[in-house]
């Protein structure tokens, strides 16, 4: 299929998509159609004779990577099985699967998520005779992450044993043949630095590299793509410094400046035409962000007209705030015949969400909370996955510890301590220690041996069955969960609540079904259980359970709203101690510009209507105290605002038109 860039893109997009040789910096403003441009650029590369195997497109979520690949396939009319559109972590995993043996790891590695890391650190502390409850485990793991990624040196006030725990944590990861998410970036960097031949292999393979959301890359991610593109110089980065809002997780918006230094011959292109929001919304965003000094000059514009003014809400308190939002949503829904999914409600912090969610529940308004517990985070699903992980990699101690007494099988603290002692003595995993304890020459108690032997034989039997099952591994897993009596185990946890037990076991059955679909997918070439588990670990960070088709109001933090858009947006809690966030400024006075960028991102999520709410009073520490509007509101021209005119009386013609539209809609549903 022949691609015509000039007829498909605007002038700036066309220029950005046309230049496929040499370094390119594309500053893409909010709603400027950057994803469309990126897909056309890749299609243009393919049409120009660049082999799909030579293209590497990196982004930040698996969903975005899959969408990108799908759109390129549609544009070109080709299957493109060897085109790599990937997250940074998935690319790192790809490198490690091929070369991790060079670093002393085996290819059947496990990827530890946040919960696994906490469990491992707790285990390490117990081995060192430290009480995990006396420490901030999340804080210590964040310190470990900062040290491993070289974001910061060891702080002078770190606990004396922190370095010892860090070394022990890393040693256990190696022993268990496991990686965490930092490893998926740092170990490929280590490989490329220590083994120039491996780096040269990837440089030759990927002659053209693209990075989306470049403003959100960390320093180590930039180092990775810089290494890969240093010789070819064919590196295109797409980002917007005005939307850099993730410094707290390692993002470094100054990577744009580093790119300019390292690739001084770059071509720079700005995409400023906005296809999402009205002129009024864009003017508010432009005026707001002008107050930041560390930014590239740009101004968003649109041809879609100015639209209505921004509606300012001044409720008495947070209860009145949510009631006001509900009334306005119902009014807009009725007048314009729009569904609940047209509305997005954004807040600065998670603590503002429960009140809104609870009110919506009481008012029977369907609501989806972004960042709520995903399907794969449910306890029963994590238990099932842990069994699969142990069958695939018996040396995975974190998974082993999760399943060893789930359901209860008489393995008490003394037996677990024996397992740990043997594992430490022989420098082996707990599963290997189990094999040592039940050996014919074992001196352990007959009761311990008998209990552990039953577990060992169970896992060995199903491990052998799993690896000889071909594309019926899901049937093996289903049989295992039935044999261990997991349904009864759940029922015992919910005595008197049969429905809860049924619902939870249905999650196990759903997971088995998902696993079955994966292994029977014709596009799944390797059908390796390791591939599935590794992919599951990667996608668990950004995958959300597929909801029912019911249209719902989206409720989320401003951070979670990045990349989304809604016809009507409500920004609530826009008060000076919340936006900008007082604690963030206390911890880092230089964070004011990022707080302003965050508010800019929130504003530019709105397509047609924007409501901003600032309460007169709000509860703090259970006391109702006076609030003042956010200082950022004073940076937006007052003529762009109007006071809310909620609950106005409709004209007779408007009422008739609304009812007529509703009647037609219901008639269509009945006929279908």
Alpha carbon separation from 217 to 63, 185, 249, 253, 258 (Å, rounded): 17, 12, 10, 7, 12
* Count of alpha carbons within 13 angstroms of residue 501, beta-carbon side: 14
Please state, in angstroms and rounded to a whole number, the distance separating the CA atoms of residues 224 and 237: 13
* Count of alpha carbons within 13 angstroms of residue 625, beta-carbon side: 10
Q: Please identify every residue annotated as catalytic.
A: 34-35, 212-213, 243, 605
Tell the burial category of 625 from Cβ atoms under 10 Å away from its Cβ (0-12, 13-18, 19+).
exposed
Alpha carbon separation from 172 to 162, 389, 390, 424 (Å, rounded): 15, 17, 16, 11
Alpha carbon separation from 63 to 68, 296, 539, 606, 617 (Å, rounded): 9, 29, 9, 22, 40
DSSP 524-535: -SS--HHHHHHH
Alpha carbon separation from 490 to 383, 481, 486, 510 (Å, rounded): 11, 12, 6, 15
Tokens 């604690």 identify what position?
583
Please state, in angstroms and rounded to a whole number, the distance separating the CA atoms of residues 263 and 236: 10
Q: Is the peptide bond before 350 cis (omega within 30 degrees of 0)?
A: no
Within 10 A of 134 (CB to CB), how many other CB atoms are there?
A: 7
């Amino acid at each position: 299929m022949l691609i015509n860039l000039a007829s498909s893109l605007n002038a700036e997009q066309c220029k950005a998509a046309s230049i496929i040789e040499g370094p390119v910096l594309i500053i893409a403003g909010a709603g400027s159609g950057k994803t469309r441009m990126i897909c056309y650029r890749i299609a243009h590369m393919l049409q120009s004779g660049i082999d799909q195997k030579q293209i590497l497109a990196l982004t930040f979520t698996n969903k975005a990577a899959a969408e990108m690949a799908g759109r390129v396939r549609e544009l070109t009319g080709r299957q493109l099985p060897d085109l790599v559109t990937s997250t940074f972590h998935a690319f790192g995993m790809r490198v490690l699967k091929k070369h991790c043996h060079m670093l002393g790891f085996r290819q059947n590695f496990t990827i530890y998520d946040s919960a696994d890391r906490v469990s491992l650190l707790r285990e390490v502390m117990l081995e060192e005779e430290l009480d995990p409850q006396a420490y901030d485990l999340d804080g210590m793991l964040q310190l470990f992450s900062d040290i491993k990624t070289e974001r910061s040196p060891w702080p002078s006030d770190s606990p004396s044993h922190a370095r010892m725990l860090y070394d022990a944590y890393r040693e256990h990861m190696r022993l268990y043949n496991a990686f965490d998410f930092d490893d998926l970036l740092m170990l490929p960097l280590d490989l490329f630095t220590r083994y120039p031949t491996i780096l040269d292999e990837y440089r030759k393979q990927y002659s053209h590299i693209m990075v989306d959301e470049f403003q959100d890359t960390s320093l180590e991610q930039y180092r990775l793509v810089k290494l890969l593109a240093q010789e070819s110089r064919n590196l295109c980065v797409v980002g917007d410094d005005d939307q850099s809002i993730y410094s707290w997780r390692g993002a470094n918006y100054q990577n744009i400046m580093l790119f300019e230094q390292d690739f001084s011959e770059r071509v720079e292109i700005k995409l400023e035409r906005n296809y999402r929001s009205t002129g009024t919304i864009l003017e508010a965003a432009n005026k707001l962000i002008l107050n930041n000094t560390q930014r590239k000059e740009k101004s968003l514009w649109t041809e879609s007209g100015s639209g209505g003014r921004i509606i300012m809400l001044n409720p008495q308190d947070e209860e009145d705030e949510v009631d006001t939002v509900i009334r306005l949503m119902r009014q807009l829904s009725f007048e314009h015949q729009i569904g609940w999914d047209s509305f997005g409600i954004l807040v600065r912090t998670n603590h503002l969400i429960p009140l809104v969610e609870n009110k919506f529940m009481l008012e029977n308004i369907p609501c989806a909370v972004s960042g709520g517990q995903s399907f794969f985070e449910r306890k029963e699903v994590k238990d099932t996955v842990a069994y699969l992980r142990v069958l695939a990699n018996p040396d995975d101690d974190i998974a082993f510890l999760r399943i060893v007494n789930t359901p209860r099988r008489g393995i008490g603290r003394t037996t677990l301590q024996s397992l740990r002692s043997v594992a430490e003595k022989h420098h082996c995993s707990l599963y290997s220690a189990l094999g040592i304890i039940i050996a014919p020459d074992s001196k352990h108690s007959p009761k311990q041996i008998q209990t552990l032997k039953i577990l060992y034989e169970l896992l060995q039997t199903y491990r052998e069955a799993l690896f000889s099952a071909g594309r019926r591994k899901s049937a093996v897993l289903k049989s295992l969960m039935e044999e261990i009596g997991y349904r009864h185990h759940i029922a015992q946890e919910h005595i008197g609540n049969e429905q809860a037990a049924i619902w939870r076991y249905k999650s196990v059955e759903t997971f088995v079904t998902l696993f079955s679909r994966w292994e029977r997918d014709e596009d799944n070439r390797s059908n390796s259980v390791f591939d599935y588990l590794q992919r599951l670990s990667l996608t668990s960070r950004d995958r959300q359970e597929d909801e029912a088709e019911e249209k719902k109001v989206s409720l989320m933090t401003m951070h979670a709203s990045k990349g989304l858009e809604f016809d009507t947006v409500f920004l609530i809690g826009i008060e000076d101690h919340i936006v900008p966030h007082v604690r963030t400024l206390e911890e880092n006075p230089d964070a004011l510009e990022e707080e302003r960028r965050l508010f800019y991102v929130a504003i530019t999520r709105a397509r047609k209507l924007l409501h901003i709410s600032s309460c007169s009073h709000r509860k703090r520490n259970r006391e109702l105290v006076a609030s003042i509007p956010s200082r950022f509101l004073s940076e937006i021209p007052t003529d762009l605002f109007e006071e809310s005119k909620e609950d106005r009386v409709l004209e007779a013609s408007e009422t008739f038109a609304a009812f007529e539209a509703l009647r037609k809609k219901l008639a269509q549903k009945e006929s279908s």
